Amino acid sequence: LTDTLTLVLLPVSALWLLPQGVVARWACARACPPSCSCTPERSCSVLCDRAGLADLPKEFPCEASAINLEKNRLRFLSERAFGTLPSLKSLSLGHNNISFITPGAFKGLTNLVDLSMAHNEYISYLHTRTFTGLRRLVRLDLSDCNLFNIPDRIFIEQTALKELLCFQNNFRRIPGAIRGMENLTHIYLEANKIEAVAYNSLLGLSSLRYLNLQENRINVIHDQAFQDLVQLENFYLNDNLLSDLPGLAFKGLTRLKMLNLGGNQLTNVSNTWFSDLVELEVLYLDRNQLVSIEEGAFENLTSLITLHLNSNNLTSLPFRVFQPIYFLGHLFLFKNPWTCDCSILWLKDWMENYKLVRDIPCASPSSVAGLDLSMVVFAKVNGTCIDPSELNLTTASLEVLSTTENRFNSLISKLLHKELREEMGNGTESLRNETLLAEEEEQMSAGVRGPWAHSYGPLLYAPAAGLLFALLGP
């Protein structure tokens, strides 16, 4: 009965929808096209991928819900290339050799939701009416084609579009066609040649949650370029040519969870950039040329979990810069020319308490160059930390430290801890019992001991000076 119904009903609907001449050639079929296979259900998937097709099959099953034509040798699409397929939801034309698409090629695919034309390296031009009739389109993939631009009005009917994938093309600016598309949630524009983000490039994209602009040539961002992106959660601006950002570039982006500014040419981090990013969890500032971070720069990042500052030109990290961050899970600081003097002592303490920071190689002072911060022993005289290079008396001993390296260092570190325990808790017992000592030490470093800033006291460093003097002898 179902078959009979299909036979009777479908040609009628096709006739009703199509102009006369086209029906003759494109009435949809019940049979699966030659060189394709079709899944058995009524709303079938038509699989024609890797079939060596140079031309489109003449007919597709009327009830087809998906057609896969990937990895063939298709070169061009005529008007109404697929006839009328009212059930078609998904069409893949990726990895072909399409160079020309006749305006109206997709007319008749009124319910198409997902169209992929990625990896057609000869598509360099699209007509304004290319997508005419695709009123339900939600996802459009034009990645890895050869597009230099697209007409401003090309998406005039695609008001339902949510995802636009255009990475790996030759765009030199953000296509004006996306302006005002309030339903767009995801835009992929990475690996193009975009040079600037103008004040109106991203206007009206009020639903956008994901924006990828990485690996372009962006060197200018207008003051209010991002002002409408109030729902943005993931933002990739890495690997561009940014040497500065407008003071209020990210103003109002209160939903932002991840911001990637890595691989640019930034030198200073302004304390205005991130002031509204209260939900930011991951911030990448790696692979820039940062020399300074303004006080308060991270002040309002109360949700921050991971901060990437590695591979920059940072020599110091003022305590004030970090003070207000309540919780940070990971801090990446490697590949910076750190000056391991007293100003960075707090960081060493933080490292030891929380084990959230690793790998802080010292570039100076010369007495500790090459050592990791965790290996540097800071001396204190009368409660004041003495910078390694300034402590004349210890110059010799510090040289010993750097030359005999880690073995000696960890020995000293152990001795220091022992002395510390002694001072803290009258530990004649614990001095005699190594097992006990080791256990205590584990507990101390594993447990989180209240606000870390407060655990930093003169007591902790007092024994260091004593020991260093003792080593030198009278």
Ligand X SMILES: *[C@@H]1O[C@H](CO)[C@@H](O)[C@H](O)[C@H]1NC(C)=O
What string of DSSP letters covers 213-267?
--SS---EE-TTTTTT-TT--EEE--SS--S---TTTTTT-TT--EEE--SS---
Own/partner pairs, 167-175, CB within 8 angstroms, 24+ separation: 167/143, 167/191, 167/192, 167/212, 168/143, 168/144, 168/192, 169/142, 169/143, 169/144, 169/145, 170/124, 170/146, 171/147, 172/148, 173/149, 173/198, 173/201, 174/198, 174/201, 174/202, 174/213, 175/149, 175/150
Whether the link from the prior residue into 365 is cis, omega within 30° of 0, is: yes
- Indicate whether 323 belongs to the interface with ligand X (CB under 6 A): no
- Indicate whether 392 belongs to the interface with ligand X (CB under 6 A): yes
In angstroms, give the least distance from the CB of 181 to ligand X.
6
Q: Compare residues 20 and 435 and give the one whose CB is closer to ligand X.
A: 435
Sign of CA dihedral 68, 74, 77, 80: negative
- Indicate whether 230 belongs to the interface with ligand X (CB under 6 A): no
Measure Cα distances from 18 to 24, 37, 88, 163 in Å.
10, 26, 16, 30
Count residues near ligand X (CB under 6 A).
28
Return the residues of window 405-464 that contact ligand X according to CB under 6 A.
425-426, 433, 435-436
In angstroms, give the least distance from the CB of 388 to ligand X.
13
Nearest to 260 by CA among 308, 208, 192, 321: 308
Instruction: Say what the alpha-carbon torsion angle 400, 403, 404, 408 is, to the nearest 10 degrees.
Output: 60
Q: From the list 99, 170, 206, 343, which residue makes contact with ligand X (rule: CB under 6 A)?
A: 99
Lay out the site mask for ligand X across 184-223 (x = CB under 6 A, - = otherwise).
Answer: ----------------------------------------
Q: Compare residues 226 and 236 and give the one whose CB is closer to ligand X.
A: 226
Q: From the list 160, 342, 369, 400, which residue makes contact with ligand X (rule: CB under 6 A)?
A: 160
Q: Compare residues 34 and 383 and give the one whose CB is closer to ligand X.
A: 383
Lay out the site mask for ligand X across 114-133 (x = CB under 6 A, - = otherwise).
Answer: --------x-----------
- Indicate whether 29 belongs to the interface with ligand X (CB under 6 A): no
The residue behind tokens 């308060």 is 296
In angstroms, give the least distance from the CB of 107 to ligand X.
20
Return the residues of window 235-294 that contact ligand X according to CB under 6 A.
267-268, 271, 275, 289, 291-292
Pairwise CA distance, residues 37 & 425, whole Å: 80
Count CB-CB contacts under 10 A for residue 153: 11
Q: Compare residues 183 and 200 and give the one whose CB is closer to ligand X.
A: 183
Q: Compare residues 83 and 94 and give the one whose CB is closer to ligand X.
A: 94
Q: Which residues of 264-291 are buried (b: 16+ CB within 10 A; e: fewer)?
A: bebebbbbbbbbbbeebbbbbbbbbebb
In angstroms, give the least distance from the CB of 385 to ligand X.
13
Pairwise CA distance, residues 442 & 332, whole Å: 24
Pairwise CA distance, residues 362 & 375, whole Å: 10
- Indicate whether 110 belongs to the interface with ligand X (CB under 6 A): no
- Indicate whether 35 belongs to the interface with ligand X (CB under 6 A): no
In angstroms, give the least distance from the CB of 219 to ligand X.
14
Q: From the list 35, 37, 313, 406, which residue makes contact with ligand X (rule: CB under 6 A)?
A: 313
Residue pair 27/83 in contact by the 8 Å Cβ criterion = yes
Q: Compare residues 269 and 377 and give the one whose CB is closer to ligand X.
A: 269
Q: From the list 157, 299, 422, 441, which residue makes contact with ligand X (rule: CB under 6 A)?
A: 299
In angstroms, give the least distance from the CB of 395 to ligand X.
8
- Indicate whether 97 belongs to the interface with ligand X (CB under 6 A): yes
Q: Which residues bind ligand X (CB under 6 A)?
A: 73, 75, 97, 99, 122, 159-160, 182-183, 267-268, 271, 275, 289, 291-292, 296, 299-300, 313, 381-382, 392, 425-426, 433, 435-436
